[in-house]
Amino acid sequence: MNSRYLIVLCFCLAFKAMAQENARPNIVYILADDMGIGDASCYNSEAAFTTPNIDRLASDGLKFTDAHTSSAVCTPTRYGILTGRYNWRSELKNGVLGGFSAPLISNERLTVGDYLQEAGYHTAFVGKWHLGWDWSFKQEYENINSLNQILEVDYTQPIQNGPNDRGFTYSYGISSSLDIPPYVYVENDRVTALPDRRTINVDEKGFWRDGPTGTDFNHTLTLSHLTEKAVTYIDRQASSADPFFLYFALPAPHTPILPLTEFMGKSNSNMYGDFMLQVDDVVGQVIGALEENGLLENTVIIFTSDNGCSPRADYPELARVGHDPSNGWRGHKADIYEGGHRVPFLVHWPEKIAAGGTSDQLICTTDLMATVAEMLGTPLPENAGEDSFSFFPTLMQGNPDSERTSIVHHSIEGRFAIRRGNWKLICWPGSGGWTEPLTRNGLEDLPDFQLYNLATDPEEVNNLVDRYPERVEALKKELIALIKEGRSTAGPRQKNDGPEIWEQVSWAYQ
């Protein structure tokens, strides 16, 4: 080998290394559906089962211990993830959308998909959308948001204002949860197979509502089918010179809880535990696809859940084998208590993030958008990502300082809480969700507000509202200001969509 060849070879290797160093990372969001923070064994040393693939993201990346969804239920959190905006600033003030609902994200609203497309990324959505789109209805309906009503749709016509119109170059998925009709796959605005029957399952764990079902649709195989689509997308993009963004929104472990035969009985807990092992396997398949294509080192994988675990998992049954999906935190999905919105949150980026780190920084799923923007070095417009604080410095330097000093929580009923430091003020007497105290049972004998110190009372049982009235008033004032300002980040005041809900939560602020 002559010296000239060696010089050329060294130059080529150096250029390749420099190009890789400066290459924009691929980005993959993996969003579990109704998974509790205690369902990942990297968070729960007493878990009844082990999640090795999720744990790998933690051991080789950064684990956040104080991460929260913007809402305790599905649709609102997904809105916040894609827009960087608190869900209650949208038209949806409580509850979730149905499978026939109109789009929640407006045409004018910038999404993370839009932002990344403009930055030169190929973008894809695979999985559960649950943010509404426009079907071609055969007649007019007064209410299209019911979870149980079956509407007449012309499934031969393309959908409008779906993922492809909200920032995704490619899309493949279902309109809502796997237990909410219609049960059809939609690929790039077109239904893949027309419904030929109606199906229903009333089993407690395997439950799904009555609804039209496509000829190619099988509830039990849906998670596997969507995983195949996600892996195929990664394989296809591996040969592209452009970076990609994959938003992979799993329909599991949400109901229907339908683990494949190969996972049945493997968790030594119940069917929910078995389904969690399948979810973990899905994470492993995504990691494997990136690894096999040589993409893992410079791909940012962010794994989290859209809210806490659902009671459909059967908490009493799991408790008999020593497993707590909420990992000691009070409540579960739908609640304003910690179990409703405190979730696993892992960031894996071998090229940039030191392995095995843990951060107790307060973050919200709305923060993903600003983090991506800082990662790419292009600021968001002033009217986008109004509640998104970047945690990129934490990823790079383990910096414990953050611009996020407080966070607003929201329950399925639309009840509010605000957290600052260790202090959490709940502006409602009950859970605002599905655990006691329930709104429907009457809350007249309870204080109007709940104040907890999470450092000394993580189970939220000692209400300190009477002991610290000044702190209560300060947190009330901050919450109202954040709502009325239309944003929690710095910038010009913005307008919330729909009615000004600060008036609704200030009834006791006189």
Q: What is the pLDDT of residue 3?
A: 43
Q: Which of 84, 119, 126 is nearest to 368 (CA)?
A: 84
| Closest by CA position to 364, among listed 18, 14, 84 | 84
List the single range of 17-31, 288-302, 355-369, 475-489 with lowest mean pLDDT: 17-31
Question: Can you give the pLDDT at residue 13?
Answer: 38
**Burial tier of 175 (Cβ tally within 10 Å: 0-12, 13-18, 19+):** buried
Query: What average pLDDT does the segment 67-95 reach?
Result: 98
In whole angstroms, what is the distance from residue 391 CA to residue 388 CA?
Answer: 9
pTM score > 0.75 for this model? yes
DSSP 8-state assignment for residue 350? T
Q: Does 11 score more than 60 pLDDT? A: no
Cα separation of 456 and 317, whole Å?
29
DSSP character at residue 137:
B
**Residue 21: what pLDDT?**
43
In percent, how much of the chain has pLDDT > 90? 91
Burial call 262-276: b when 16+ CB within 10 Å, e when fewer:
ebeeebebbbbbbbb
pLDDT band at 503 (very low <50, low <70, confident <90, very high): low
**Residue among 245, 501, 271 nearest 373 (CA):** 245
Query: What does the pLDDT read at residue 51?
Result: 98
pLDDT digits (tens, 9 = 90+) for 202-231: 999 999 999 999 999 999 999 999 999 999
- E strands in 170-270: 170-174, 186-187, 190-191, 195-201, 208-214, 244-253
Q: State the pLDDT at residue 9.
A: 39
- Mean pLDDT of the 325-352 span: 98
**Omega prior to 253 cis, within 30 of 0:** yes
| Model confidence pLDDT, tens digit, residues 413-448 | 999 999 999 999 999 999 999 999 999 999 999 999
Spatial distance between the Cα atoms of 290 and 505, rounded to a whole number of angstroms = 46
Coil, helix or strand at residue 19: helix
What letter does residue 30 receive in the DSSP assignment?
E
> Is 66 a residue whose pLDDT tops 90?
yes
Give the dihedral sign, CA 175/176/177/178.
Answer: negative
3-class state of residue 441 by DSSP = helix
| 431 residue type, one letter | S
Q: Reply yes or no on whether the pLDDT at 381 is more than 90.
A: yes
Grade residue 1 by pLDDT with cuts at 50, 70 and 90: very low
Q: How does the average pLDDT of the chain come out, rounded?
A: 94
pLDDT digits (tens, 9 = 90+) for 134-159: 999 999 998 999 999 999 999 999 99
pLDDT value, residue 501: 67
| CA–CA dist 366, 356 (Å, integer) | 24
Average pLDDT over residues 371-394: 97
Q: What is the pLDDT of residues 383-407, one digit of tens each?
A: 999 999 999 999 998 777 778 999 9
Q: Which residue has the tokens 């160093």?
A: 21
pLDDT at res. 232: 98
Please check the confidence at residue 311 and state whether its pLDDT lies above 60.
yes
Is the pLDDT assigned to residue 2 strictly greater than 50? no
Q: Please, what are the domains in the chain?
A: 26-404 (3.40.720.10), 407-505 (3.30.1120.10)
Is a pLDDT exceeding 80 seen at residue 120?
yes
What average pLDDT does this structure show over 85-108?
97
Token duo for residue 167: 């920032």
CA distances from 255 to 276, 321, 461 (A): 12, 21, 30
d(CA 143, CA 342): 32
DSSP string, 410-434: E-TT--EEEEETTEEEESSSS-SSS
pLDDT digits (tens, 9 = 90+) for 467-486: 999 999 999 999 999 999 99
Confidence of residue 10 (pLDDT cuts 50, 70, 90): very low
Question: Pairing mode, if any, of strands 299-305 and 26-33?
Answer: parallel
Q: Are strands 357-359 and 62-64 parallel, antiparallel or unpaired?
A: parallel
Mean pLDDT of 130-137: 98
Contact 182, 152 (CB under 8 A): no
Q: What is the C-alpha separation between 253 and 273, in angstroms, rounded?
A: 9
Model pLDDT, residue 397 = 84
* pLDDT for 365: 98
Burial of 242 (0-12, 13-18, 19+ CB in 10 A): exposed
Task: Give residue-wise pLDDT tens across range 218-267.
Answer: 999 999 999 999 999 999 999 999 999 999 999 999 999 999 999 999 99
Which of 238, 206, 416 lies closest to 312, judged by CA?
206
- How far apart are the C-alpha atoms of 301 and 26, rounded to whole Å? 8
Write out the H or E segment, with its range, that includes residue 452: strand 450-453
Looking up tokens 């602020």 gives 509
pLDDT tens digits along 12-62: 333 333 334 458 999 999 999 999 999 999 999 999 999 999 999 999 999
The number of C-alpha atoms within 13 Å of 18 and in the hemisphere containing its C-beta is: 6
**The residue type at 493:** R
Predicted local distance difference test score (pLDDT) of residue 361: 96
Angle of helix 74-83 relative to helix 368-376, nearest 10 degrees? 20
Q: Please, which residues have CB within 8 angstroms of residue 181's CB and are 6 or more apart in sequence? A: 99, 150, 209, 210, 211, 212, 213
The reported pLDDT for the residue numbered 510 is: 41
Predicted confidence band of residue 499 (pLDDT cuts 50, 70, 90): confident
- Quick check: 28 and 301 in contact, CB under 8 A? yes
